[in-house]
Chains A and B, each alone.
Chain A
């Protein structure tokens, strides 16, 4: 997994609540057996005016002029600013793959859906929960600016605004450690293989029918 330490990134504000993973990456793209290549289809039904199909050349497709992400000023955005319950619905990890594929590295929202939130960490994406007040301020300032940058520091657990104001965010020590160092979680877990084997033997003795 790629690591994340610090980013000064351009913000793209997506001002709607309950953005579901079907909207983030529609189902037709889930037929791919690959883990990459989803970036051009991020928010496909909002971003393009035609119906997207896998393996389409998106550079030839008609863009929806009303969808903010299509404005030239957001083409190099790295921080996605969102509203409540971002990533709800389907567990598809294709959603963080598409967000990552576009070039985003950080998502800031007042709340996230549980499965999506966990999936982000597995892909080197940092989801940050911020207060409603901070989120409102970020929306107001970013929508009013042509190039709104935030400085995100994982080690210090801070987000710094252009004004120099900053707010902190929470992350579990385990996730922070994995993300800072880009660690493979399977490798980490397998360091405890003996614990798993001991548990498994005890579990099998207690409930043998689970191993039939």
Chain B
């Protein structure tokens, strides 16, 4: 019998029951929540007079609607404020293990605060009403986004009704070139498999280039698994995972720590495990990536040229390219480095951790944003990240360069708060989605790494950051 993959081990160790048609009931260890996708679930609980099965599985924080400046003024928009206050009230009524309300010193993006507090651990199942829950897979955790009905289901039963995914291995071997990051790996993978390439799969990322990434880098890669269609991304836990977790608030202590570490060592895929699909990339071949269109799969190396729809034979794809070029205001065949940006956003659950801010500061140090760039927003992922960055003086580097140093939150990744693009504005963004209107109606998003975003802020257009490192 073939060995088991990491995914199989996580699935099997949480299987409560299985029906003959393969429908399973899976136990959920950690339930992450934010203000946008939870109110209707709590309301459903209330209407059915149900209580949470395990309130100590809940970690919650408001992040999508919260402003990133003028915290003293509170939340200006009444319906956004009501949504955040509704989360406050629901947590007060139903309970939670951890709740960081708006303006708490540890408030931040749910996918940043889970790992930094040790509430995300290897071997767990983690869900959240948020597609970027895949981020937590970096710890060898089965983590994925769910809908609001499922949020209610997990609240009431501590389980999820689900079917086993297929398993895909994305193996990246070799050494990344300087200036090439976890973000570029993930975008290159999406460019290769397409935005639906991972549909129906859980993707395990492996190979020496993945092993070499920090935990922050692995989180970036797993975060973007969903943009390749896979609900869950995974990286096997190793020494780096253990070093990262040791001593964190909710990491196991004493004897439990030793038992946990021993258990986590059993999780990596067996050498003879079989995957349903294998995708291979060479790290050396990956250049800094820039998306040019309105889907994350519409991505190119920075040295490339915007595609020409005339070269596409599939009529649906050709129409897609034409529509994207029109929306993005780009001309076919123009070099990526000729694209000028109006705004720059460095933040989001993809790239707002301390390593990301250090990388951006490394490029910005001693330089000034281009006069043609209207605004550069630096939004740390959490209060902890913000304090760490300030202790290292990164905030000073950013403000000296003319960048704005903000309070933590989701911010301009999806523009639910006041941070947004106006129609026609073009943004170099470290976030995860370049969909039409994502960063504001009519806004144009190019997804890049923190290094590439900072370099674009300085130059006023995209540049190959490898020439600056």
Contact = CB atoms under 8 A, between A and B. Distances in A.
B256 A212 contact: yes
A200 B152 CA distance: 19
B40 A174 contact: no
B233 interface: no
A78 to B, nearest CB: 22
B441 A18 contact: no
A93 interface: yes
A207 B17 CA distance: 19
B459 interface: no
A199 B27 contact: yes
Contacts of B150: 118-119, 122
B352 interface: no
Interface string A29-51: 01111110000000001000001
Contacts of A190: 156-157
A31 B416 contact: yes
B317 interface: yes
Contacts of A91: 37, 129-131, 145-147
A196 B158 contact: yes
Contact of B17 (A88, A123, A192, A208): A192
Given A22-B438, A111-B196, A208-B256, A196 B145 contact: no
B435 A20 contact: yes
Nearest to A172: B21
Interface string A186-209: 100110110110011001000111
Interface in A1-49: 15-18, 20, 22-23, 26-28, 30-35, 45
B295 interface: yes
Nearest to B433: A89
B332 interface: no
A22 B437 contact: yes
Contacts of A118: 146-147, 150
Contact of A172 (B14, B163, B259, B323): B163
Given A85-B196, A203-B27, A210-B124, A186 B147 contact: no
B457 to A, nearest CB: 25
Given A22-B433, A85-B199, A92-B37, A195 B25 contact: yes
B288 to A, nearest CB: 24
A172 to B, nearest CB: 5
B56 A17 contact: no
Given A195-B17, A195-B25, A88 B157 contact: no
A143 to B, nearest CB: 13
A35 B260 CA distance: 41
Majority secondary structure, B binding face: loop
A17 B229 contact: no
B278 interface: no
A31 B415 CA distance: 12
Contacts of A174: 19, 21, 23, 161
Given A83-B316, A89-B435, A122 B149 contact: yes
A115 interface: yes
Contacts of B21: 172-174
Contacts of A27: 414-416, 438
B318 to A, nearest CB: 11
A14 B25 CA distance: 35
Contacts of A15: 316, 319
A17 B320 contact: yes
B142 to A, nearest CB: 13
Nearest to A114: B231
Interface stretch (B79-87, B98-106, B268-276, B364-372): B79-87
A31 B65 contact: yes
A30 B416 contact: yes
Contact of B441 (A17, A45, A54): A45
B32 to A, nearest CB: 12
B194 to A, nearest CB: 8
A159 B23 CA distance: 25
A89 B131 contact: yes
A134 interface: no
A13 to B, nearest CB: 13
A31 B83 contact: yes
A185 B151 CA distance: 12
Interface of B: 13-14, 16-17, 19-23, 25, 27, 29, 36-37, 39-40, 43, 48, 50, 53, 56, 64-65, 77, 79-80, 82-83, 86, 121, 123-124, 129-131, 144-150, 152-153, 156-159, 161, 163, 195-196, 199-200, 229-231, 250, 252, 256-257, 259-260, 263, 295, 297, 316-317, 319-320, 323, 414-416, 433, 435-438, 441
29 contacts: A16-B319, A17-B317, A18-B297, A22-B438, A23-B436, A28-B416, A30-B37, A33-B39, A45-B437, A55-B79, A91-B130, A91-B145, A92-B147, A111-B196, A111-B199, A122-B147, A172-B22, A174-B21, A175-B23, A185-B153, A185-B161, A186-B50, A192-B16, A196-B157, A200-B27, A207-B260, A207-B263, A209-B252, A209-B260
Given A17-B320, A22-B433, A30-B36, 10 more contacts: A18-B196, A18-B297, A33-B82, A89-B433, A91-B130, A122-B147, A123-B149, A209-B121, A209-B257, A210-B124
